[in-house]
């Protein structure tokens, strides 16, 4: 009667992964209607010092009295001492979060998820494609790369959203566009106002920008984040332009309660978005039904 | 004085069973199957005469004593956001668990302890003694197909096999061994003929499946992946009520939802976790109103997909132990066995294959 699982029980009790750390809101910036960027610092100095993450990872944020929500980190781990989350007011918990003020305390646990494969992206071109709020996790990747610019080859950023009003990180992206070491192409769904015209390179969808990218596809890693409906079209266009499906990484969103593979809600096919993702290679669409 | 014995198993005469149970109850709170109406449930017992030895399946699996269906994870104050918990695991003995449920608990062990281990589950599990008992199948059981008809490979402490006038007691852990030493006057040593009877009882259980409908689980993961668009899902899901009974009675289902419940003054908040079901629409609902599993078919199929494709990837074992609870309790009389047989199609079934238990306990 041999038992293969004995060793699972013969372990000391681990640190509770469900227990969050307190963090204070140090700054709130209104980016667009219903979109705010929150800056946090951990109250515990030891945690603040040791806390590290990878672009594309997320945290479980406790909004006091409302509950926990998974939110992608939008700051870069290359900038220490704080972290930032961009949150759209879209549901019950984010509505409560949007009422908080600088100085208010929240609780955070994480970082969770796999993050973008920044290690294997090194010495390659990187094409970053952001749609709408998908700019948030990709902002982390953009600054990670720019802060270690010599490790990467050519960098492109494609960003599309509804109209200029909904553009996130406006000033920051404007300055990025002036830089020589990253090529930025912006599109808007509707170009109506003078600001729209000044901002947009084209009126249309992200898929129309992809053919304008001058990169050798086999030497390029692609990072995509956007609304669920966009992935199919962007994926198809990327494949059409010769980007290998194993080098295209998409960041997916699902319902989550725990972030550590225990609650089951975030299953995509046989994988958990929280521990096996949220970053998946496009190749996985073959394995994981209903991924896109 | 150091008490030590090197027997791999012991024999408990049936006439000593009640003294054994009485002895267990003196050591720790005792949980055992008891009659509730015409069904059986696992319940803490005060009077050992309430215990029922011969039962087929309980309504809920014993997992409710390891992971309560509703539990408070933390309490936090809204003033300083300090999280605390007064959770404390207690010693407990669960007696009378069938082989399928022991395997179910082992699957939960893997889910909760392999990666990102949950300290609370580990604490409960370390303080729990599992004592199994052999059983005979009814029409809903298909544990022979899932490789869980016998307790081999599962995590347990003692296992009692009915060999006629006695129970053949297998010892599965140091905790189990300690119980035997504590109550040693109730046991006798095994003899040659006990071993023979023990082997015969194994054969008897296998033979009991002879005339039953069993699903062929050979390469079941691949079957479900290839038949993902099969019309069988739609047809079966049409009868499904999305009531979630199947997942609530399942010994391996672990999905839960977590909510923060403030008190009336808004001063302290309880973080409550409760069992949920992938059959409920809100299971995949995200803020903004998008359902990732919008149709009943998608949710119905997800349960099979997770059991037979998801678990093998996540914990290297099938997520189904063949206990038959989901089929027995389904108000729409949806049978897991029937669905799997329909999915495979009758023409490609190899006779005899289904009724063979693989040593690995799973066949992909």
pLDDT digits over B259-307, tens only? 999 999 989 999 999 999 999 999 999 888 888 889 999 999 999 999 9
Q: Please choose, from the candidates A49, A41, A21, A51, the residue with its C-alpha nearest in 3D space to the C-alpha of residue A102.
A: A41
DSSP H or E segment with residue A138: helix A135-147
Report the C-alpha gap between A132 and B153 in whole angstroms. Answer: 50
Report the C-alpha gap between A82 and A79 in whole angstroms. Answer: 8
Burial profile B113-147: b = 16 or more Cβ within 10 angstroms, e = fewer: beebbbbbbbebbeebbbbbbbbebeebbbbbbbb
Contacts with A, B 4-63, CB within 8 Å: none
Contacts of A36 (CB under 8 A, 6+ apart): A28, A29, A30, A86, A87, A89, A98
Q: Answer whether B76 touches A (CB < 8 Å).
A: yes
Q: Which of A5-14, A49-58, B296-305 has the lowest mean pLDDT?
A: A5-14
Contacts of A48 (CB under 8 A, 6+ apart): A41, A42, A81
Helix (H/G/I), strand (E/B), else coil: B168? strand
Residue in chain A nearest B229 by alpha carbon: A289
The length of chain A in residues reads 292
Quick one: fold of A118-251? Rossmann fold (3.40.50)
Structure tokens at B174: 């140091």
pLDDT at B363: 40
Contact yes or no for A164/A196 (Cβ under 8 A): yes
Residue with tokens 């610019």: A149
Average pLDDT value for residue range B158-182: 93
- Which residues in A lie closer than 8 A to residue B260 (C-beta atoms)? 62, 65-68
The bridge status of strand B158-162 relative to strand B128-133 is: parallel
The 10s digit of each residue's pLDDT in B230-260 is 999 999 999 999 999 999 999 999 999 999 9
Residue in chain A nearest B312 by alpha carbon: A270
Report the C-alpha gap between A176 and A172 in whole angstroms. Answer: 6
Report the C-alpha gap between A267 and A277 in whole angstroms. Answer: 10
pLDDT at B273: 95
pLDDT band at A286 (very low <50, low <70, confident <90, very high): confident
- Which residues in A lie closer than 8 A to residue B306 (C-beta atoms)? 264, 267, 270
Q: Please choose, from the candidates B155, B159, B158, the residue with its C-alpha nearest in 3D space to the C-alpha of residue B66.
A: B155
Average pLDDT value for residue range B323-350: 86
The 10s digit of each residue's pLDDT in A178-193 is 999 999 999 999 999 9
pLDDT band at B1 (very low <50, low <70, confident <90, very high): very low
Contacts with A, B 159-178, CB within 8 Å: 159, 170, 172-173
β-sheet with A248-251: strand ranges across: A202-203, A183-188, A155-161, A125-131, A220-225, A248-251, A279-281
pTM of the model: 0.91
What percent of chain B is modeled with pLDDT above 90? 81
The 10s digit of each residue's pLDDT in B211-230 is 888 998 989 999 999 999 99
Residue with tokens 């022979």: B144
Q: Which of A151-160, B1-10, B61-70, B151-160 has the lowest mean pLDDT?
A: B1-10
Helix (H/G/I), strand (E/B), else coil: A8? helix
Whether the pLDDT of residue B4 is over 70: the answer is no
Alpha helices in chain B (DSSP H): 17-27, 99-113, 119-126, 143-146, 174-182, 192-208, 220-226, 231-239, 245-248, 296-305, 311-315, 325-329, 336-344
Measured CA distances, A246 to A119, A218, A282, B283 (Å): 15, 10, 6, 30
Q: Which of A81-85, B130-134, B344-348 has the lowest mean pLDDT?
A: B344-348
Question: Cβ B284–A258 below 8 Å, yes or no?
Answer: no
Summary mean pLDDT of chain A: 93
Residue with tokens 């949220």: A278
Whether the pLDDT of residue B172 is over 70: the answer is yes
Q: Please choose, from the candidates A276, A283, A278, A274, the residue with its C-alpha nearest in 3D space to the C-alpha of residue A17.
A: A274
Contacts of B16 (CB under 8 A, 6+ apart): B186, B187
Contacts with A, B 301-340, CB within 8 Å: 302, 305-306, 309-310, 312-314
Q: Where are the domains of chain B?
A: 9-59+86-208
The ipTM estimated for the assembled molecules is 0.91
Report the C-alpha gap between B47 and B30 in whole angstroms. Answer: 10
Write the residue in B110, B170, B310 that is nearest to A5 by C-beta: B110
The 10s digit of each residue's pLDDT in A197-237 is 999 999 999 999 999 999 999 999 999 999 888 999 999 99
pLDDT band at A101 (very low <50, low <70, confident <90, very high): very high
β-sheet with A58-63: strand ranges across: A67-72, A58-63, A105-112, A21-32, A35-42, A83-88
Q: What is the CATH number of domain A21-112?
A: 2.40.30.10
Q: Where are the domains of chain A?
A: 21-112, 118-251
Average pLDDT value for residue range A34-41: 96
Residue in chain A nearest B114 by alpha carbon: A8
Measured CA distances, A175 to A132, A178, A182, A183 (Å): 19, 5, 11, 11
The secondary structure of A181-245, three-state, reads CCEEEEEECCCCCHHHHHHCCEECCHHHHHHHCCCCHHHEEEEEECCCCHHHHHHHHHHHCCCCH
Q: Answer whether A229 touches B (CB < 8 Å).
A: no
Report the C-alpha gap between B58 and B65 in whole angstroms. Answer: 13
Contacts with A, B 200-229, CB within 8 Å: 225, 228
Contacts of B352 (CB under 8 A, 6+ apart): none
């Amino acid at each position: 009667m041999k038992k293969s699982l004995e060793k699972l029980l013969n372990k000391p009790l681990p640190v509770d992964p469900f227990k969050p750390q307190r963090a204070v809101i140090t700054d709130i910036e209104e980016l667009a209607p219903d979109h705010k960027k929150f800056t946090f610092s951990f109250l515990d100095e030891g945690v603040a010092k040791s806390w590290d993450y990878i672009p594309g990872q997320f945290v479980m944020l406790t909004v006091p009295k409302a509950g926990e929500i998974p939110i992608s980190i939008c700051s870069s781990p290359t900038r220490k001492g704080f972290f930032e989350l961009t949150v759209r007011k879209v549901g019950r918990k984010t509505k409560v979060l949007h009422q908080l003020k600088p100085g208010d305390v929240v609780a955070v646990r994480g970082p969770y998820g796999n993050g973008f494969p920044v290690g294997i992206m090194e010495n390659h071109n990187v094409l970053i494609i952001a749609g709408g709020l998908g700019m948030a996790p990709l902002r982390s990747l953009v600054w990670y790369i720019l802060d270690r610019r010599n490790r990467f080859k050519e960098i492109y950023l494609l960003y599309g959203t509804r109209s200029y009003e909904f553009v996130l990180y406006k000033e920051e992206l404007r300055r990025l566009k002036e830089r020589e070491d990253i090529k930025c192409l912006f599109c808007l769904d509707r170009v109506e106002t003078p600001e729209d015209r000044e901002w947009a390179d084209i009126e249309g969808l992200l898929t129309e920008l992809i053919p304008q990218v001058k990169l050798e596809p086999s030497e390029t890693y692609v990072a995509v984040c956007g609304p669920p409906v966009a992935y199919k079209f962007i994926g198809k266009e990327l494949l059409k332009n010769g980007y290998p499906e194993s080098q295209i990484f998409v960041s997916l969103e699902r319902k989550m309660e725990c972030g550590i593979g225990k609650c089951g809600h975030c299953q995509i096919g046989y994988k958990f978005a929280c521990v096996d993702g949220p970053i998946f290679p496009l190749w996985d669409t073959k394995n994981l039904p209903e991924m896109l | 004085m150091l008490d030590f014995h090197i027997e791999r198993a012991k024999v408990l005469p049936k006439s000593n069973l009640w003294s054994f149970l009485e002895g267990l109850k003196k050591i720790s709170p005792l949980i055992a199957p008891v009659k509730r109406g015409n069904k059986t449930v696992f319940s803490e017992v005060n009077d050992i005469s309430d215990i029922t030895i011969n039962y087929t399946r309980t309504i809920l699996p014993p997992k409710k004593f390891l992971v309560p269906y509703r539990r408070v994870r933390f309490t936090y104050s809204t003033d300083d956001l300090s999280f605390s918990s007064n959770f404390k695991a207690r010693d407990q003995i669960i007696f009378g668990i069938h082989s399928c449920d022991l395997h179910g608990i082992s699957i939960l062990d893997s889910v909760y302890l392999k990666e990102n281990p949950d300290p609370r589950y580990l604490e409960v599990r370390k303080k729990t003694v599992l004592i199994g008992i052999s059983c005979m199948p009814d029409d809903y059981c298909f544990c022979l197909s899932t490789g869980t008809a016998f307790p081999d490979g599962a995590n347990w402490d003692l296992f009692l096999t009915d060999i006629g006038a006695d129970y053949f007691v297998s010892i599965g852990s140091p905790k189990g061994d300690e119980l035997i030493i504590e109550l040693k006057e109730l046991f006798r040593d095994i003899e040659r003929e006990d071993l023979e009877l023990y082997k015969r009882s194994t054969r008897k259980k296998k033979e009991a499946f002879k005339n039953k409908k069993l699903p062929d689980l050979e390469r079941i993961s691949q079957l479900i992946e290839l038949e993902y668009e099969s019309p069988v899902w739609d047809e079966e899901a049409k009868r499904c009520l999305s009531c979630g009974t199947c997942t609530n009675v399942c010994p391996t289902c672990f999905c839960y939802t977590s909510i923060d419940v403030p008190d009336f003054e808004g001063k302290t908040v309880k973080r409550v976790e409760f069992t949920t079901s992938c059959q409920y629409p809100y299971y995949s609902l995200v803020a903004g109103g998008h359902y990732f599993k919008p149709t009943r078919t998608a949710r119905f199929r997800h349960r099979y997909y997770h059991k037979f494709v998801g678990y093998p990837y996540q914990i290297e074992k099938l997520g189904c132990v063949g206990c038959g609870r989901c089929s027995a309790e389904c108000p729409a009389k949806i049978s897991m066995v029937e669905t799997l047989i329909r999915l495979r199609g009758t023409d490609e079934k190899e006779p005899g294959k289904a009724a063979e238990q693989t040593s690995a306990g799973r066949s992909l």
